[in-house]
Amino acid sequence: MSDQNPVFIPGPTNIPDRLLSAMHVQTRDHRAPDFVKTFAPVLEGVKKVFKTTQGTVITFPSSGTGGWEASVTNTLSPGDTVLIARYGTFSHRWIDLCQRHKLNVRIIECDWGTGAPADKFAAELSGDSGHDIKAVLVTHNETATGVKSDIAAVRKAIDASNHPAMLFVDCVSSLGSMDFQFDNWKVDVAVSGSQKGFMLATGMAILCVSPKALAAMETATLPRTFFDFRDMMAANASGGFPYTPPLQLIYGLAESLKMLEEEGLENVFDRHFRLAEGVRRAVDAWGLKLVAQSPDLYSDSVSAIYVPEGFDSNVLTEHAFDAYGVSFGIGLGEMNGKAFRIGHLGSLTDVMVLSGLATIEMAMADLDYPITLGSGVAAAQDYFRSTNAVATKAAA
């Protein structure tokens, strides 16, 4: 029965039965006319989630890491300079990918628990009189630390420096859960995936690409084959794929877009904030601290939480799984052994989040953490009740 428990990792997320049913389809011919009728509207529908009318949506059978690689190889050349800040595991991995592709990576080292340093980006760009920096790379939502960065501020820094650098954004764990404004923030390449806010299985990288980034393909010389934008766009233009597509995921994405539209994107964002705030109230009641250093950095899709001195967060997450059959996020990178993570994105409700808080409380109590059993759950309950219109009306 434990396989019915929800997961509280920051992705892959829980898959609603409705989407499992949509993906549960027999093999079909992806070159038949009915596939075109399914696929073309999906590409248009995803643009609404990115909040773009100018960008082109491109998908690949891959995880988000493949999307990172596609963003780099289609727009840059060996030796090109990119600017990126390291403040978590996923910004670190993007750095590693760029270095392996023989790019010149300028790294701004930041404390884990902080976000993208717009002021330091501005200083680097202002000093780059020769415009050697071709792209600024930012992780919108760093899942290792539960930190959300201000992409609008980064764009403002680029514009204030009067610099032509492109802006690449990893929004894998934010798109479909938190507001993302591709056009307003003048993003050039945004990289996401199927397994987070879209509530699907892993296996599809989902990108949005600006006209400026598409123009950069004309001079980019990094090799690409599987991840070639041109090949994919040419096939997409006639409603097809240059090779075998992830058919089940495409059918699932069509249904996911319907679910998001039915709830309303702004309502989806509000729900994620409420769930996240309930978790944050619980953390405060436990007397523990978030890794994110200030409220403006708090992620609405994942909270990373320091364990007290003398405790091992890996022991806690392993015990929660072994004893209660529930998965929580382990500490990654510098957070290994120091922090655990509660994912609160995708297909989750107040009630489901309360079950996760109750479970991790039991696990902490089992391991003699200095918490009061029930305190975090009660704090989240109070918050959820106070922000539930029906409950508030009943109380009145």
Model pLDDT, residue 32: 85
Average pLDDT over all residues of the chain: 96
Type of residue numbered 204: M
Instruction: State which residues of the chain have pLDDT below 70.
Output: 1-2, 390-396
DSSP string over 254-311: HHHHHHHHHH-HHHHHHHHHHHHHHHHHHHHHHT-EESSSSGGGB-SSEEEEEPPTT-
DSSP string over 227-253: T-HHHHHHHHTTT--SS---HHHHHHH
For 250-309, how does the pLDDT look when each residue is reduced to its tens digit (9 = 90+)?
A: 999 999 999 999 999 999 999 999 999 999 999 999 999 999 999 999 999 999 999 999
In the chain, where does the domain assigned CATH 3.40.640.10 lie? 17-261
Model pLDDT, residue 304: 98
CB atoms closer than 10 angstroms to residue 205: 25
Model pLDDT, residue 318: 98
CB atoms closer than 10 angstroms to residue 266: 9
- H-helix segments, the chain: 17-23, 33-50, 64-73, 89-100, 118-126, 151-160, 211-216, 229-236, 247-263, 265-286, 313-324, 350-366, 375-386, 389-395
CA distance 112 to 95: 15
17-261 carries CATH number 3.40.640.10: yes
Question: Structurally, what CATH architecture does the domain formed by 265-395 represent?
Answer: Alpha-Beta Complex (3.90)
CB atoms closer than 10 angstroms to residue 202: 15
Strand bridging mode 81-86 / 133-139: parallel
- Which position has the token pair 């990654």? 332
pTM: 0.96
CA distance 105 to 108: 10
Model pLDDT, residue 375: 98
Model pLDDT, residue 138: 98
| Dihedral angle sign, alpha carbons of residues 325, 204, 223, 190 | negative
Angle between helices 265-286 and 375-386 (to 10 degrees): 150
Those residues whose C-beta lies under 8 Å from the C-beta of residue 130, and which sit 6 or more positions away, are none
For 175-227, how does the pLDDT look when each residue is reduced to its tens digit (9 = 90+)?
A: 999 999 999 999 999 999 999 999 999 999 999 999 999 999 999 999 999 99
Type of residue numbered 38: T
Phi (first) and psi of residue 59, to 5 degrees: -120, 155
In the chain, where does the domain assigned CATH 3.90.1150.10 lie? 265-395
Model pLDDT, residue 238: 85
Model pLDDT, residue 1: 55
Model pLDDT, residue 391: 63
